[in-house]
Structure 1
Amino acid sequence: MNYRIDYVKQSEYPKVVDVWEASVRATHHFLEEGDIEYFKPLILNSYLDMVELRCVRNERREILAFLGVAENSLEMLFIHPDSRGKGIGKALVEYAINEFKITKVDVNEQNEQAVGFYFHCGFEVDSRSELDSLGKPYPILHMKLKTQS
């Protein structure tokens, strides 16, 4: 399918966080409730302003999925569970590669679906960290885009 990638206004951040939370609850089963509650205000009040945001919307202009990019790294990609499996994630990654020239992404090792997705999108594991960026015991795979020969 062909999806139109759109900008996200700051006034839409609460909707973006709703998509983030629904996505995390559907895919990050290893997280504790306290972790989700900890990250929610950080995402809303800090993290979204630190990245270039783009989204995919439905015909009612509701946000179905979003990505955030900083420098050459895909920092966030979240898809509402009702919209998974429809090619939206692939469209957003291809957009990030083509428009933002991303070459890397960090992914929770325990999120096996995401790891498989990024392999499918042409990434490979470059290195691994035992702890996440906050020192929590959630291993991170540092993936990079395979070089085309």
Structure 2
Amino acid sequence: MIKIRLSRADDGHRVIDIWRSAVDATHDFLSSEDRLAIDDMVCGFLPQAPLWLAVDGNDSPLAFMLIDNGHMEALFVDPAFHGKGLGAALVRHGLAMHPKLTTDVNEQNGQAIGFYESMGFLRVGRSPVDGQGRPYPLIHLEYRDRS
């Protein structure tokens, strides 16, 4: 049974492990230099960030989501649990709090774009670089209720 809860200080190492394994599995378009620079940046803030976690029956984190002012800044699932509904559960949780949730996805990550579009997100824009000015275009998405 999956439960969603807020992160605690002792979740930091596991969250970094999830982030690293998920990025390694899905972000093969990153240069090795950019991957290391992003890792340094993420390790500096992610363990203290207010995250929503999907945890298993033993309270062990399997996936996490970061939302800031109605914008999903991050959604990462341990690759061993891809396709199990953890990402969808976290997105539904986010939508319950922020019905007009937005997010950005790397254009090179077609699997993630497909996931968000299947959840009801629509493309509303594009940026030629990522948030740090690196050459990884972003697709801007916004949730639109289909009912």
TM-score by length of 1: 0.90
What is the CA deviation profile of residues 39-92 of structure 1, one whole-angstrom value per residue up to 9, with x for unaligned ones? 22322222454x531111223322110000000111100000000001111111
Corresponding residue pairs, total: 147
Which residue of the other structure, out of 122, 129, 132, is the alignment partner of 1:131? 129
Map of 1:69 onto structure 2? 67
CA RMSD, 1 decimal: 1.7
Paired position in structure 2 for 1:146? 144
Q: Render the CA deviation track for 1:19-48: whole Å, top value 9, x for unaligned.
A: 000000001110122222212232222245
2:6 is aligned to: 7
The separation in 1 between residues aligned to 2:69 and 2:42, in whole angstroms, is: 18
1:86 equivalent in alignment to 2:112? no
Report the more deviating stretch, 98-107 or 4-13: 98-107
Deviation at 1:99, TM superposition (A): 2.5
Q: For structure 2, which runs of at least 5 residues remain unmatched after alignment?
A: none
Query: What's the CA shift for 1:102?
Result: 4.9
Seq. identity, %: 33
Q: Is the 1:74–1:102 Cα contact (8 Å) retained in structure 2? A: no
Matched residues in 2 for 1:138 and 1:55: separation? 27
